[in-house]
Structures are given as C-alpha cells and as structure tokens.
Structure 1
Amino acid sequence: MIVGYTRVSTLDQNLGSQEDALRAAGADTIFSDKSTGKNTARPGLRRCLEHLRADDVLLVYSTDRLGRSMTDVVNIVTELQERQIQFRSLTEPFDTTTAGGELFFHICAAFAQMNGRIISDRTRAGLAAARDRGRRGGRPTVMTPERIAIARRMRADKETWQTIATTLGVGMSSVRRALADDDDAHEVEDLTPVAQAS
C-alpha cells in the first residue's frame, strides 16, 4: 500500500496541490498536517507513522514536508526501514524502493551524521573555551549582582516575588533562582574555616 503524507507550513498554503500529486502517484491513504510558526505539532505525521505496515511505501511531495532538517528526515526514514517500510519523494531522488534511491539516501544519511558531529564538536569546543575563560555554558543570567542586591533588599522589606520581578523587569523564577543561588554561595563562604591566630 502507498500511504501519502502532506504538510503546509503556513495557514495560507493549500494542501490540495500536494494531495493531488500524491493521489496521481498512487497514494491510497493520505495523512496531513497544517502547522504554523507557533504550532509545530504534527498529529497527522504521528497517525501516519502508526498506520504504516511492513511492505508499505510512505510517499511525500518533498522531504521538507516530512522533516524540518535532513537529520530529522534521515531519522524517520531509518526508523521506517527498520520496520520494512519504504520511502519515496515525488520531487527528489529519494526512493528506497530502487538501488539508486537507496544509495542517495545513504549518502544523505552520511552527510547528516557528519554535520551532526561537526555541530557537536563545535559546541564542545565552545563550552571548553568558555570554561577556560571562567564562564559556564548556557544563556547569560539576567540577574546581575546589582539586581540581586535590590531583590534581596526588597525581599527583606516583605515585598512579594511578583512585585520584585516586575520592578526589575525579569521573570519571577529568575528572581527566586538568583536569590537561592546567592544564599548557597553565602553558605559556602560561611562554612569556610577561618585560620585562628596562635
């Protein structure tokens, strides 16, 4: 059985043209998704993958309809192959039912894997360089020492977490986390033994 999957990325696009092309290519059943920048859920794809059985063919108009990156596409197609399901794109040489298409898939998979390793290596190198400069990975904190001092004074004056956050222009969780971290740092300092004069 040939099973089609379609997706449009904005509400003003029409699924009809993709569906017509898939039906003309022999798709018996078609699953579809409409997604926007705010809504990236793909329940249609989930249902499609659950519907597919061994010896079926998943047919798409183009690979960017199936996944948001080549790595995403390769992962999905690899999972399909493990289930004895073939994959074909109408507008690209992706066709695991043929020797040439299978070769093309393996080349793309190798490039996706290499790209993933390059990104991983760069991330590790960047974090190592940041550690060497005395910085931790992740986003910089919005709670500067000055803001922490203000928050501590306001908290001592019995101000609510919401009032403090609004005053400083940051999220309430940022204030709570910063003061908790600051308290932990002070506890460590307090536990440091002080040398006594003999």
Structure 2
Amino acid sequence: MIKLGYARVSTQEQNLALQLDALKKEGCKKVFTDKVSGVKSSKPSFEKLMEYARPGDTIVIWKLDRLGRSTVKLIELMEELKQKGINLKSLSESIDTDTATGNLFFQFMCMLAEHERNVISERTKAGLESARARGRSGGRPKGLSQRYLKISVEVKEMYEKNIYSTVAIREMFQIKSQPTLYKILQYAGADVKGFVKKRD
C-alpha cells in the first residue's frame, strides 16, 4: 500500500513544480505527470497510473480539477477507484477517501452518479415520447452509435452552457467529427440553428 502522485498542467501552462513539491512532501513513492488540457479524455500518464495502482494504494493529487473539468467524468472515475479498492486524496480540498469523512464523501459522489444516470435515462425517455408526439418514430438515428445516444443529454447540456467550443466538446466526449456532434445535438433536442457559424 503506497502513495502514488499525479500532476497535470494544461498545454498553456509550463510549471509542474508546485504540484510536484506538494506530492513529494506528501510522501508519494512514484509520481506520474501529464501536460494536456483538462477537457481531453486521453491522459497517457494517468492511464499508466491506473494500470500501476493496486488495491490499498492511494492516488494523491494537488486538486480535483487535475483529473478533469467534467463533474460527471470525475464521479465516474471515483466510482472506478472505489471498485478497484484504490483511495484518492486531494491536498487542496482536504479530501481523503481512506478516512471515515473522506469515505462518506466518496459514497455521496457515487450517489450523485446514480442520480445523474437516472436523470439522463428519464430525459431520454421523455425525449423519445416528445419525438413520437411530433410524429417521429424514435430509435437510433442513422450514423449514431449506442455510446453517442447515451451521452447525448450530457453533450446537449454542455453545449447549451455556451462555455466550451464545439472542438472542446468533441474532445471531451471523444466525438469523431463535427457532423456527428450535430446529429447528437439534434437527437437530444438542442437548438442547433446556425450551428456551424455560431460555434466555429
């Protein structure tokens, strides 16, 4: 049972020193680092860390946002860690899932994940019923996989927040092309009028 550190800076940031110093002070035996944007789903060193970690180990980070910017993805990651018996410690937020208080936080995050899945399921059903009421048969649109259908509501919500560009949204959800993103948004019932000009 050891402490494993993870540090990340975005492509615009340069210095890992602050995070590395904190992780070293915490007593991490091995530290993995990435230099990649938080919206990107692929973080090579973090993926290696997940393969390296064993049950009972603790992954230490400087701050929760080092794991990514999407709350839903963070919750899913915490669920995965729990299933593998790996603890998580965030130094800035004073979160440690190896403690009673931290474990309670962990359980709360898992409850949020379950709630989010239920909400998405209900919205998908409501969307299909609304489509049928407008004379559409529903079902999978041509060219959309089951994975895209499952994330359609989340993609729509991210799009309608008007914070991220369509390129960032595609990277976040691993959507291959702009037309596919357009289809996903249409399926979810988003207002995509003037989509290409407005977003790109």
**How high is the TM-score relative to the length of structure 1?**
0.61
**Separation in 1, partners of 2:68, 2:37:** 14
Runs ≥4 in structure 1, deviation > 6 angstroms?
Answer: 137-140
**Separation in 2, partners of 1:38, 1:64:** 10
**Separation in 2, partners of 1:114, 1:12:** 35
Contact 2:38–2:69 at 8 Å: present in 1 too?
no
Secondary structure at the counterpart of residue 75 of structure 1: helix
**Separation in 1, partners of 2:14, 2:126:** 41
Q: Does 1:104 align with 2:92?
A: no
Q: Does 1:15 align with 2:16?
A: yes
After superposition, the C-alpha distances for 1:154-194 in whole angstroms (9 at most, x for unaligned) are xxxxxxxxxxxxxxxxxxx99xxxxxxxxxxxxxxxxxxxx
Q: In structure 2, give the amino acid aligned to 1:115.
A: E
How many percent of aligned residue pairs carry the same amino acid?
A: 39
What are structure 1's unaligned runs of at least 5 residues?
A: 141-172, 175-198
Q: In structure 1, give the amino acid aligned to 2:45.
A: G
Question: Cα gap change, 1:40/1:108 in structure 2, threshold over 3 Å: closer, same or farther?
Answer: closer
The number of equivalent residue pairs is 143
Question: 2:131 matched to which residue of 1?
Answer: 130
After superposition, the C-alpha distances for 1:90-118 in whole angstroms (9 at most, x for unaligned) are 12243111001101111122123212321
Contact 1:63–1:89 at 8 Å: present in 2 too?
yes
Question: Cα gap change, 1:109/1:13 in structure 2, threshold over 3 Å: closer, same or farther?
Answer: farther
Question: Cα gap change, 1:66/1:39 in structure 2, threshold over 3 Å: closer, same or farther?
Answer: closer
Contact 2:7–2:32 at 8 Å: present in 1 too?
yes
Structure ranking higher on relative contact order (CA contacts 8 Å, 6+ apart): 2
**Separation in 2, partners of 1:109, 1:38:** 22
Question: 2:146 matched to which residue of 1?
Answer: none
Larger radius of gyration: 1
**Separation in 2, partners of 1:18, 1:47:** 19
> RMSD of aligned C-alpha atoms?
3.0
Question: 1:74 matched to which residue of 2?
Answer: 75
**Separation in 1, partners of 2:87, 2:28:** 13
Question: 1:2 matched to which residue of 2?
Answer: 3
Q: How does 1:131-170 map to 2 (within 5 A)?
A: 131-135=132-136, 136=138
**How high is the TM-score relative to the length of structure 2?**
0.61
Q: In structure 2, give the amino acid aligned to 1:83.
A: K
What are structure 2's unaligned runs of at least 5 residues?
A: 143-178, 181-200
